[in-house]
Amino acid sequence: MRKLSFIVLFLLLSGCGAASLDDYSNTRPELKLEQFFDGKLKAYGIVLDRSGKLLRRFDVDLVASWDGDQGEIKEWFLFDDGEKSTRIWRLSKVADNQYQGQADDVIGIATGNTEGAALFWQYDLDIVVDGETYRVTLDDWMFLLDEKRLFNKTEMTKFGFKVGEVILYIEKRED
């Protein structure tokens, strides 16, 4: 019984203090994916382990477009060790401030909601580490700085425990 009480207390406390989209309802400029993710973009990022140690650096070229409520974001990643990868997101605006997305390496459907200048986006992804595949949950927080710049902070978890983090800066390109 004592062990069960400890587990319940731990689970309750681990949810305390979490950010909520409501915290950003009065922030501006307002983030609309179909407006920011349109045209050519460039991103720069880092991958950290669960303790905050830098594991990798990367940059991404993006091309995004929308046709009504349907969008596509093509991403070409280049990591500091020479690894290259590509992801193509197929997005849908399903309601005001509500989006869904799919990509070949994403498990199921990603879901996201915006409020003010923020987006909370969540999905599962299989990642390969040293030849082993692990399924992790990604909690993305995106914050629009202005019409040309956005920060993205992603926490990766497995069984509810943080296993890593990605920090990404995205900017619209003029060319």
Per-residue pLDDT of the chain (175 residues; tens, 9 = 90+): 555 444 444 444 444 557 899 999 999 999 999 999 999 999 999 999 999 999 999 999 999 999 999 999 999 999 999 999 999 999 999 999 999 999 999 999 999 999 999 999 999 999 988 899 999 999 999 999 999 999 999 999 999 999 999 999 999 998 7
Which domains occur in the chain, in start order?
Answer: 28-172 (2.40.128.20)
DSSP H/E element including 27? none
117 near 123, Cβ under 8 Å? no
What six digits make up the tokens of 22?
């409501």
Amino acid in position 12: L
Vertex 128: Cα angle to 101 and 134 (nearest 5): 75
Could you tell me which of 139, 161, 165 has the C-alpha nearest to residue 11? 161
- Which pLDDT score, from 0 to 100, does residue 12 have? 42
Say if residue 169 is exposed, middle or buried (CB neighbours under 10 Å; 0-12, 13-18, 19+).
middle
Task: Enter the tokens of residue 84.
Answer: 């290259």
List all residues 6 or more positions away from 54 whose beta carbon is below 8 Å from its beta carbon.
46, 47, 48
